[in-house]
Amino acid sequence: MVSEDTDIVEKNDEVIVQIGYDFYGKYSHKGHESETDFLKGITLGTKYYHYFIDEFGVGLGANLQSSRELEDIPGKVYFVPAYLSLKLRSIPTEPYKYGYVAGNIGYNFFFPVSDYDTYLNDEKGGLFYSISLGIVYNNILFEVAGAIHTGSARLKSTNYKIDVEYRTYTFSVGYVF
């Protein structure tokens, strides 16, 4: 919809699908010396936003990561966050042409797999939060994001509880509908 008093184009709802490359990740057992850099991985995501005004939207999103192999710990892990998102964008001068910053917070599912799963039980997810900067040009999205994924588990051998944290930095490309 085009406003009569300006040339600003309003779009009240967006659906975004994107694929990202996690170019850096660090996995750690919080409060302990155990820490490892991750092999890089792929993240798939989808988001829905509703804009109350041109510059401000509220949305829901979810991501799915490929499993990540740990360097110093046998096995792999992956995280699946679902989150609420707040997005500030520049005023679109045409549909699908704007810059933005978004903050996300939600719950993160934690999944150890392969050999790592044989050492753990009682795995639980935890808080997920991230911030992203991006641009949309002609329906194509380019985004850089930093995220923190948390979870917990118990070691099978000692029943000791460990808190895990995974930090990622991701470059994504997507499509905005």
Give the integer Cα–Cα distance in Å for 8 and 5. Answer: 9
Q: Identify the CATH number of the domain in which residue 163 sits.
A: 2.40.160.20
- Which pLDDT belongs to residue 133? 98
Q: Examine residue 4 and state whether it is found in any structural domain, yes or no.
A: no
Whole-number pLDDT of residue 1:
43
Domain of residue 29: give its range.
13-176
Domain count, the chain: 1
3-state secondary structure of 115: helix
Question: Would residue 5 count as lying in a domain?
Answer: no
Q: List per-residue pLDDT tens for the chain, 177 residues long.
A: 444 444 445 568 999 999 999 988 888 877 565 566 666 899 999 999 999 998 999 999 999 999 888 777 777 889 999 999 999 999 876 888 999 999 999 999 999 887 776 778 889 999 999 999 999 999 999 999 999 999 998 888 888 888 989 999 999 999 999
**The whole model's pTM is what?**
0.86
| Nearest alpha carbon to residue 131 among 161, 155, 167, 159 | 167
Residue 3 inside a domain? The answer is no
Domain assignment present for 19: yes
Structure tokens at 147: 């995220």
Cα separation values, 100 from 75, 89, 114, 142, Å: 37, 4, 38, 10
Provide the terminal-to-terminal Cα distance of the chain, rounded to the nearest Å. Answer: 15
